[in-house]
Structure 1
Amino acid sequence: MRHRTRRGQSTGDSGAPAWMTGEIPAVGDEAAKPADEDTPNVTPNVVKRVERPAAEEKPAVAAPVQPEPEVEPEPVVAAEPEPAPTAPEPEPAPADPIADADAAAAVAALQEVPTEAPSAPATPAWHDDHDDAERAKQKAADEEKRAKDEAAAKKGEDKKAAKQAKKDAKKQAAVAADEMPKSTTGRRLAKIATALVVVLALVAGGGYVAKRQGWLPSFVTNALKNKKDFSNTAGTEDVLVTIPDNSSLTNFGQILEQAGVVGSVDAFIKASDGKALSGGVYKMRKGIPAATAVEMMTGTDNRVGRLVVPEGVQLEAKRGVDRKTIPGVFDLIADATEVELNGKKVGVTVEQLEQAAKTASADELGVPSWARKGVAALPGDYRRLEGLIAPGTWEAVNPEASAAEILNQLISDSSRRYESWGLLTGNKSGLSPYEVLIAASINEREVRHPEDLPKVARVILNRLAKNQRLEMDSTTNYTAAETNIDVHGDNYKADTQWNTYKIFGLPPTPIATVGEQALKAMLDPPKGNWLYFLTVDKNGKTLFSENFDEHVRKRQIACDNGFLKTGC
């Protein structure tokens, strides 16, 4: 393997610098060069050792210099024995014992040979290569240090940002905890306070569920109970309170507490002492003792909005032949909602109800789909709602609601009631649901005893099937100023859509409220050929006939009993 010889390196076995072995002259010794340059054995230069100043002392031992790539030498100025103009001195090279020894020998050689110093002596090639390598190492070290400094600076900035973020988080935590103490005891108390906040949040947002499910311990629920109670039995002002049906005493207490009637649920439950109370609308006083509230809700004196609609009544009041007036549905609603609150009258009137029945839309009134066609046939007539309010009891009609809102509530509830009785699912009459309601209302008004309802329903269906006029007194009385079972005179001849002595088929609307028995009798009446029926006495005894002659004979019984006078 061939090895490259560095510039100035000996080709001999010694490996010493060439100028030391005599292969080339020493620096500045060109004049002493032998004439025969080809002579291989040249007397070596004598090198004297020169002591370097103490400031220039270097470590005694150093690692050998590794070969470096060739670099062109740059001229430097060597030291002269005598003062002379020189070029700027080269920068001191890194410590190297071999280089120090060689430099000392070179200085000694110059002192031995009295020659004229050159103006720009050359630097030995081996020294120049070493300087280049050291400069490269220093540059690399500088670059490495600069990279480390940049990394450290960046790391410092990251630490600073992280420290600031941590500081901000601590500050926010301190604010949220309301400057929690830094001591161990303080931190423990802060944790307890946080737990209490969570418990209170559960009570406020879902504490009722937690209590019902038994999730909260009894000592927590007891501690959180409000046991406040008022002492002023007169209270401060009137207020209406609505209690839903089937409410528990706890529900009562919660509603009353929210309305400002009682001080707490706990106080009301204790005062009620397990009494059974009814749901509904109550006129109460704010700020009264729980015991006073229980007393006011025990009787009926403070109940408002309780509506009872009987079977077989019309929307409007009707006076009978006995001069007694039967209140209509509108009268019953007005009476149920009338109340005075803090000196002001509250509730709806009959006139307001009639106006709403005339003008409000079917949607506003809650009219069911199966009745809308019939309702639309009588625009501007409040009687278009006849029969759509079923008999029954409403415990909580809001006196502060509008007429249309109240009618909507009653009609919507009634339609569900009718449907639950089988109006849409158990109809075997052959009539539409609305027609069934009309026919059932006639049945309701004609019959006194429930056991006669199915046979009267069959009479109605048989006459309709034969296209025979119904000729029912109840339909004639519907529009009469005064009802009379013995129809005669103007009422008999009245030219109205409801007078079945004049018209064929059913009237345009029901003529009264329809009870469950009358409706079910109309939905599925028994088989029979009856075409006539007649009440023959004041006890309501009813006789049925399949033909007119039989009916006439039975009618005479009513005349004999003095029950009928017309036609006797």
Structure 2
Amino acid sequence: MVGSSPRRRGSWLRTAGVVIAYLLLVGVIAAGIGWWLVFGASGDAAPGEPVQVEIASGASTKQIAETLAAAGVIGNANRFRLESRLADADGTLRAGVYDLATGMPYDLVIEKLQAGPPISYVSITIPEGFTVDQVAARVEKVIGIPADEFLALAKGGAEQFADSHPNVEGAFEGSLEGYLFPKTYRVKEGATAEDVIEMMLSQFDKEFEQVDVEAGKARGLSIPEIVTLASMIERETKVAKERPLVSSVIYNRLKRDMRLEIDATIEYVLPGNRLRLKNSHLRIDSPYNTYRNKGLPPGPIANPGLASLKAAVAPAKTDYIYYVLTGKDGSHTFATNQDDFLRAKRKSKEVFGK
């Protein structure tokens, strides 16, 4: 019988074992080197250096990874793709501009890109008494929304907002004049004209809850008329305590069927507003000319603040039917008769020389 001896077989098995072990070791080393080359290579940028990265809209995970790697935020694009897949983050990374740093942990980068870029805000202040045209100009200057685009909604879009803001129902010719509440707003970057108007109308609704509308209705005024009266008070007064007094003059003249003869209503229809009035201006053919027409003008002439809205439904109890600007601080002298009125006009001429 021919065969191998036990000693020879044992030697062969030992040799085979050594070879297999060697091959496994080589495989492990090769795999490790491969993994390092594919997933573990570091970027050239020093860790912790701030860097701004823009992720394009519609970018794939591969494109995002390459962008991040090029900026030094991550060390290896392939590893980022793998970690994104393992985190089930593919398709959830959001476009935008990010303030990141070089050498960031992959999971932190993924977390930030899923959350989206930080929201940027711009602050805009609308003073009390601004007209809708002035609001539009301020919005264009501060936010960048074209004035024409803003006015297209603000001057005729009341119906569009009426369902969610019933206070604007009945607004004259669909204009939102009077309802764009004056305040300082924080507006998100990228906001549209509709977004900004929505903010202002929402603020109006909130503030208007503090106005005794029923008191105004008891005096025969609708909501648009309350806002109209308030807008005249706003444009006519600079001294806060005079608002209820000016309101009383308006009510007293309406009650006596007198023309209101309020300068601000004419200024409203003049180019540039607030011009020095001439006698010829008093004859302007306009429904807003309260020197020619009795009653309230057809709509607001500005966007009033809360104090003027409150004064519109709560006038002081007086017999005043005149007021004349006599103080350089914007204060007025109030009168109940023609003689006192003329006396106040002489005083005004002494103060202002006109």
Q: Same fold (TM over 0.5)?
A: yes
Residue 158 of structure 2 contacts residue 169 of structure 2 at CA under 8 Å; is this kept in 1? Answer: no
Q: How far did 1:561 drift?
A: 1.9
Where relative contact order (Cα < 8 A, 6+ residues apart) is larger, the structure is 2
Are 1:538 and 2:335 an aligned pair?
Answer: no
2:132 to 307, 315, 328: 315
**For residue 150 of structure 2, what is the aligned residue in structure 1?**
353
Q: How many angstroms apart in 1 are the aligned matches of 2:328 and 2:275?
A: 11
| Aligned-pair identity (%) | 26
Q: How many angstroms apart in 1 are the aligned matches of 2:123 and 2:157?
A: 24
Are 1:368 and 2:139 an aligned pair?
Answer: no
The one-letter amino acid paired with 1:315 is V
Q: How many angstroms apart in 1 are the aligned matches of 2:242 and 2:232?
A: 13
1:520 to 295, 306, 310: 310
Q: How far did 1:440 drift?
A: 1.0
**For residue 184 of structure 2, what is the aligned residue in structure 1?**
393
Q: How many angstroms apart in 2 are the aligned matches of 1:510 and 1:367?
A: 21
Residue 235 of structure 1 contacts residue 286 of structure 1 at CA under 8 Å; is this kept in 2? Answer: yes
Question: Which protein has the bigger helix share?
Answer: 2
Q: How many angstroms apart in 2 are the aligned matches of 1:238 and 1:503?
A: 61
* TM-superposition CA deviations, 1:293-327 (whole Å, max 9, x none): xxxxxxxxx963322111111111xxxxxxxxxxx
The one-letter amino acid paired with 2:143 is T
Q: How many angstroms apart in 2 are the aligned matches of 1:544 and 1:401?
A: 46
Q: How many angstroms apart in 1 are the aligned matches of 2:306 and 2:158?
A: 27
Q: How far did 1:285 drift?
A: 4.1
Residue 232 of structure 1 contacts residue 287 of structure 1 at CA under 8 Å; is this kept in 2? Answer: no
The one-letter amino acid paired with 2:142 is A
Are 1:337 and 2:143 an aligned pair?
Answer: yes
Q: How many angstroms apart in 2 are the aligned matches of 1:445 and 1:475?
A: 9
Alignment of 1:551-562 (within 5 A): 551-562=341-352
- Name the TM-score, length of structure 1 as normaliser: 0.41
Change (3 A) 1:350 1:365: farther
Q: How far did 1:550 drift?
A: 1.7
Change (3 A) 1:337 1:366: farther
Alignment of 1:50-199 (within 5 A): none
| Gapped regions of structure 2 (runs ≥ 5) | 1-46, 57-72, 75-95, 103-118
**For residue 422 of structure 1, what is the aligned residue in structure 2?**
211
Q: How far did 1:455 drift?
A: 0.8
Residue 462 of structure 1 contacts residue 531 of structure 1 at CA under 8 Å; is this kept in 2? Answer: yes
**SS state of the match for residue 300, structure 2?**
coil
Change (3 A) 1:304 1:554: same
Q: How far did 1:513 drift?
A: 1.5
Residue 306 of structure 1 contacts residue 393 of structure 1 at CA under 8 Å; is this kept in 2? Answer: yes
**SS state of the match for residue 266, structure 2?**
helix
**For residue 4 of structure 2, what is the aligned residue in structure 1?**
none
- Answer with 1 or 2: which has the greater Rg: 1
Change (3 A) 1:520 1:372: same
Change (3 A) 1:361 1:441: closer
Aligned-residue CA RMSD (Å): 2.8
**SS state of the match for residue 312, structure 2?**
helix
Q: How far did 1:486 drift?
A: 4.3
**SS state of the match for residue 334, structure 2?**
strand
Q: How many angstroms apart in 2 are the aligned matches of 1:354 and 1:426?
A: 32
- Name the TM-score, length of structure 2 as normaliser: 0.64
Are 1:511 and 2:312 an aligned pair?
Answer: no
Q: How far did 1:529 drift?
A: 0.6
**For residue 235 of structure 1, what is the aligned residue in structure 2?**
52
Residue 423 of structure 1 contacts residue 433 of structure 1 at CA under 8 Å; is this kept in 2? Answer: no
Residue 168 of structure 2 contacts residue 224 of structure 2 at CA under 8 Å; is this kept in 1? Answer: yes
Change (3 A) 1:289 1:410: farther
Are 1:445 and 2:235 an aligned pair?
Answer: yes
The one-letter amino acid paired with 1:234 is V
* TM-superposition CA deviations, 1:166-185 (whole Å, max 9, x none): xxxxxxxxxxxxxxxxxxxx
Residue 473 of structure 1 contacts residue 485 of structure 1 at CA under 8 Å; is this kept in 2? Answer: no
Residue 229 of structure 2 contacts residue 300 of structure 2 at CA under 8 Å; is this kept in 1? Answer: yes
Q: How far did 1:237 drift?
A: 2.1
Residue 458 of structure 1 contacts residue 530 of structure 1 at CA under 8 Å; is this kept in 2? Answer: yes
